[in-house]
Chains A and B, each alone.
Chain A
Amino acid sequence: MEQLITATNLGKSVMTPDGRLDILTAVDVSIKSADTVAVIGASGSGKSTLLALLAGLDTPTEGRVEIAGENISTMDEDQRAEMRARYVGFVFQSFHLLPGLTAEENVMLPLEVKGEQFKRSQILDLLDRVGLAERTKHYPNQLSGGEQQRVAIARAFVTTPRILFADEPTGNLDRNTGQQIIDLLFELNSEYQTTLVLVTHDEALAARCHSRIELDIGRVVDLQ
Chain B
Amino acid sequence: MKKLWLLAFRAVKREWRAGELVILALAIMVAVTSTSTINLFADRLSRTMILQGADFLAADMAVSSHNQIPDQWAEYAQLIDLKYANIAQFSSVVIFGDEMLLSGIKAVSTGYPLRGQLKTSPGLDADAEVMNSIPENQEAWVDRRVLARLGVKLGDTIEVGELPVKITRIITSEPDHKGNFSSLMPRVMINHDALAATKIIQPGSHVHYLKLFAGNEANVRQLKQTLDKQLRPGDRILDVFENRPELSKAVTRAQQYLGLASVVVVVIAGVAIAMAARRYSERHFDTTAILRCFGLKHRQVLILYAIQLGIIGLCASTIGVMLGWIGQEGLLYLLRDLLPTRVAEPGIIFALSGILMGLVILAGFALPPILRQREVPALRVLRRDLEPLPASGWLVYGLALAVVVGLVWPHVQDGRMLLITIGIGLLVMAVFSGLILALLSGLRKIVPGIAMPWRIGVRSIAQQWRVSLAQILAFTLTLTAMLILAQVRGDLLNNWQQQLPENAPNYFAMNVFTDEWQAFDAYLRDNNVESKGIYPIVRGRVIKVNGKELRGQVKPGSKAERWLDRDFNMTSSAKLPEDNTLIAGSWWQSDSSHAVSIEQKLAEDLGVSMGDTITYAIGATQLEARVISLRQVEWDTMNPNFFMIFAPHDLDEYSTTYLTSFYLSAQQQPVLRGLLRAYPHVTLLEVDLILEQLRKIVKQVSLAVEYILYFALAAGLMVLFAAVFASMDERIYLGVILRSFGASRSMIRIAQLSEFFTLGFLSGLLAVILSEIINWNVYLWVFKLDYTPTPILWLIVPFASALLVTAAGMFSSRKVLRESPMQVLRKL
Q: Which A residues form the contact surface with B (CB < 8 A)?
A: 48, 51-52, 57-58, 77-78, 80-86, 88, 90, 92, 94, 96, 98-101, 105, 109-110, 112-115, 139, 141, 167
Q: Chain B nearest CB: distance from A23 CB in Å?
A: 12
A96's contact among B290, B296, B299, B827, by CB below 8 Å, is which?
Answer: B290
**Chain B residues positioned under 8 Å from A85 (CB to CB):** 294-296
**Chain A residues positioned under 8 Å from B3 (CB to CB):** 112-115
Q: Does B17 contact A (CB under 8 A)?
A: yes
7 contacts between A and B (CB under 8 A): A81-B297, A88-B295, A90-B381, A96-B289, A96-B381, A98-B287, A105-B14
Q: Which B residues form the contact surface with A (CB < 8 A)?
A: 2-3, 6-7, 10, 14-15, 17-20, 286-287, 289-299, 377-379, 381-384, 826-827
Q: Chain A nearest CB: distance from B382 CB in Å?
A: 5
CB distance B295 to A52 under 8 Å? Answer: no
Q: A110–B291 Cα gap in the complex (Å)? A: 8
Q: A80–B292 Cα gap in the complex (Å)? A: 10
CB distance A141 to B294 under 8 Å? Answer: no
Q: Chain A nearest CB: distance from B700 CB in Å?
A: 49
CB distance A100 to B297 under 8 Å? Answer: no
CB distance B2 to A84 under 8 Å? Answer: no
- Nearest opposing residue in chain B for A142, CB measure: B826
CB distance B7 to A100 under 8 Å? Answer: no
Q: List 9 other contacts, CB 8 Å, given A81-B378, A101-B14, A109-B291.
A: A80-B378, A82-B295, A82-B297, A83-B295, A88-B293, A94-B384, A113-B7, A113-B294, A139-B18
> Known: A84-B378, A92-B381. Contact between A57 and B293, CB under 8 A?
yes
> Known: A96-B286, A100-B20. Contact between A113 and B296, CB under 8 A?
yes
**Chain B residues positioned under 8 Å from A139 (CB to CB):** 18
Q: Chain B nearest CB: distance from A113 CB in Å?
A: 4
B2's contact among A98, A109, A110, A115, by CB below 8 Å, is which?
Answer: A115
CB distance A52 to B7 under 8 Å? Answer: no
A81's contact among B14, B18, B295, by CB below 8 Å, is which?
Answer: B295
**Chain A residues positioned under 8 Å from B293 (CB to CB):** 57, 84, 88, 90
Q: A88–B19 Cα gap in the complex (Å)? A: 31
CB distance A113 to B287 under 8 Å? Answer: no
- Nearest opposing residue in chain B for A114, CB measure: B295
CB distance A78 to B826 under 8 Å? Answer: no
CB distance A100 to B294 under 8 Å? Answer: no
CB distance B379 to A52 under 8 Å? Answer: yes
Q: A120–B826 Cα gap in the complex (Å)? A: 28
The CB with the most chain B CB atoms within 10 A, among A48, A77, A96, is that of: A96
- Nearest opposing residue in chain A for B293, CB measure: A90
CB distance B294 to A110 under 8 Å? Answer: yes
Q: Chain B nearest CB: distance from A201 CB in Å?
A: 15
CB distance A112 to B826 under 8 Å? Answer: no
**Chain B residues positioned under 8 Å from A52 (CB to CB):** 379, 382
> Known: A100-B17, A105-B14, A112-B10. Contact between A92 and B382, CB under 8 A?
yes
The CB with the most chain A CB atoms within 10 A, among B3, B6, B7, B379, is that of: B379
**Chain B residues positioned under 8 Å from A110 (CB to CB):** 294
CB distance A100 to B290 under 8 Å? Answer: no
A167's contact among B6, B289, B298, B382, by CB below 8 Å, is which?
Answer: B382
Sorted from nearest, which 7 A-B pairs have the closest CB atoms? A85-B295, A100-B18, A115-B3, A141-B826, A78-B297, A113-B294, A84-B295
> Known: A100-B14, A105-B14, A115-B2. Contact between A81 and B296, CB under 8 A?
yes
**Chain B residues positioned under 8 Å from A57 (CB to CB):** 293, 377-379, 381-382
**Chain B residues positioned under 8 Å from A113 (CB to CB):** 3, 7, 291, 294-296
CB distance B298 to A78 under 8 Å? Answer: yes
> Known: A78-B298, A113-B291. Contact between A58 and B381, CB under 8 A?
no
